[in-house]
Structure 1
Amino acid sequence: MRKKTLIRLACLLLMLSAMALPVYGDTGPKPSVNVTIEGLEGRACWATLLSARSSTGPHSSLWRESERGQWVKNQHILPRYTQLDPEYPAWAAFAEYEEERRDWFFLQEVWDASDGAFAWTYYPPDQFQIALWFPGENAVVLSQTCEQYAFDSYYHLDLSGAELEPGGAVRLPTAARSYDYTKELVSLAVRVVLTVGAELGVAWLFHLRSRGQMALILVVNLLTQGALNLGLNWYAYKNGTMFLFLPYLLMELGVVLAEGGAYLGLMPGGKGRGKQLAAYALAANGLSLALGWVLALFVPGIF
């Protein structure tokens, strides 16, 4: 009977993990670079990211670097915009800048950033410079070298004090990373509180109700759920949430083993209640896994 139960549980876990796998080769969210700009003062502004490489995903420059280190035309790459497109003046300005300088590649993507923000959400370059073009002055503003540091990277540019040179280029001293770590910490704390609360409730149902038992369960869960959620946060920070379920499942199985071992070794009379404590650890973490996944699906901002 016990063997059949384990086989059924294993099959269920495999089915759940398969549900989280993508069917197509290019589905789900991609890394992004998000930029906010301060100090525009109502001026029209267009933006792009100049890349250290000549292509990324579907984005390509009209130029490439040859094996000898020389810049040569990409004969098979066509201009991204025509003179009929509203983006054409910005595209032409960045293309001209690229051809004159030949140090960073313009991948032919531009955004109207006059509202103080833009985002490159599909295959942004790994290493780049943030470039702004101001049509009123025909001036370009460049950041220092930046890079993707998270699955969703955030930067903030402050133009205060920057004097635009008509027809020229101005380089800003830095672009500040602006990832909202406070929000991540709050989300992590909320998840830990909810999952620990759920597991304490399950303990009550398993008649683990004494002050010492509840105190031990609380301490163990704060440690294990804290470590679990830190691991989930780090994974999502670096890789996004698209493929989160499988590592989540594996980490949760590790938590079951750690908690079961802690209860057996530390709870008074634990060795004589092995089946009860093992069943509690499995049930409690099964509930916290389900609760966490429901939160990820319906309240994605909490991850």
Structure 2
Amino acid sequence: MVKKRLISLLACFALALAVPFAAFADIGPKPEVTVQTTGLSGDCWVTLLAEETVIGPWHETEKGTVAAVEPEEAPVLDAFDAFEDPDGYHFLQWFDRVQDASPATWSYMAPKHFKILFWFPESGSYAVTEKLDRYAYSAVYRVDFSGFDPAAGEVQTVAAQKNYDYAGEALGLAARFVLTLAVELLIALPFGYLKRQYLRVLLIANLATQLALNLALNLTAYYSGSLAMWVFYPLYELAVFAVEAVVFRLAFKPEAGKGHPVLYAFVANAASYAFGLWLGNVVPALF
């Protein structure tokens, strides 16, 4: 009887978590690279030189043959097109103006391996980094131009540092962890499990599963993007429910006047999942 109920609850939980969505080709976020600068003075443009000659809509053109652009951007395109990289990296027609207060982001299918190339119109010179990797789904690099003189050489090498907001990610993870844990403990109250004899198991199980859940969400978003995180979120929550259902069923004996421990696991996780979806819409910065 218990097995049948558990199977029924699992089926209901899976259906409740299944959020229907239509999948269309080329819809959703794509890998991106953001270039930040500090100490930059004067006009400056930036591009990423890629290992590949074609990435989605981005592609290399024959020398001297470039895409149509605004008249003011034509010299920029010509300058990047004329640059000869000693390692054979390619200019794929993406470029943008960059300033300290206005980073440049290749937001659509950015290359996995690349160099950052800067061009300074006033001196006609370049600055280029060493080979870099898109270490995260939304990678951020910062280049410090303090003391840099564009006129000091035709091509100069600059260093780029990873500048991903790890502190912000950690803060978001901690906030989600505390809030979802609070929801599950609150649900324990009407079930009669928020008592001393149950509290230790309840806290240990919820601390472990909610921490694992939120770490999984963070890692998925870091390596695969926000869309993948929301797709896997219900699957992760289902796994958490299964673990908690087994733990609570073994640790708690159903007593008169108390809800079944598996039912508690179902309601608590369904509530925390719904709360997580709501939180993601209201405070997206936490995800």
Q: After TM superposition, is the score higher than 0.5?
A: yes
Tell me the equivalent position of 1:266. Answer: 251
Tell me the equivalent position of 2:11. Answer: 10
State the alpha-carbon separation in 2 of the partners of residues 39 and 198 from structure 1.
46
State the alpha-carbon separation in 1 of the partners of residues 60 and 230 from structure 2.
37
Contact 2:13 2:266 in 1 (8 A): no
Query: Which residue of 246, 256, 267 maps to 1:283?
Result: 267
Deviation at 1:117, TM superposition (A): 1.5
Query: Which residue of 291, 294, 301 maps to 2:278?
Result: 294
Task: Tell me if 1:147 matches 2:126.
Answer: no
Deviates more, 1:220-229 or 1:254-263: 254-263
Spell out the pairing of 1:186-201 with structure 2 (5 A cutoff). Answer: 186-201=171-186
Contact 1:188 1:302 in 2 (8 A): yes
Corresponding residue SS for 2:247: helix
Tell me the equivalent position of 2:155. Answer: 169
- Output one character per residue of 1:128-167: Cα deviation in whole Å (capped at 9) or x when no partner: 1011100011110001111111110010001123332467
Tell me the equivalent position of 1:67. Answer: none
- Output one character per residue of 1:106-125: Cα deviation in whole Å (capped at 9) or x when no partner: 01111011345110001111
Residues 256 and 9 of structure 1: CA distance in aligned 2, closer, same or farther (over 3 Å): closer
Identity %: 33
State the alpha-carbon separation in 2 of the partners of residues 14 and 122 from structure 1.
33
Give the paired residue count.
Answer: 284
State the alpha-carbon separation in 2 of the partners of residues 148 and 212 from structure 1.
50
Contact 2:14 2:238 in 1 (8 A): no
State the alpha-carbon separation in 2 of the partners of residues 14 and 284 from structure 1.
16
Tell me the equivalent position of 1:134. Answer: 120
Residues 110 and 53 of structure 1: CA distance in aligned 2, closer, same or farther (over 3 Å): same
Tell me the equivalent position of 2:211. Answer: 226
What amino acid is aligned across from residue 56 of structure 2 in structure 1? Answer: G
Tell me the equivalent position of 1:58. Answer: 57
Q: Root-mean-square deviation (CA), in Å?
A: 2.7
In structure 2, stretches of 5+ residues that fail to align are none
Residues 256 and 292 of structure 1: CA distance in aligned 2, closer, same or farther (over 3 Å): same
Query: Which residue of 212, 215, 222 maps to 2:200?
Result: 215
Tell me the equivalent position of 2:83. Answer: 97
Contact 2:9 2:266 in 1 (8 A): no
Contact 1:38 1:116 in 2 (8 A): no
In structure 1, stretches of 5+ residues that fail to align are 64-72
Tell me the equivalent position of 1:34. Answer: 34
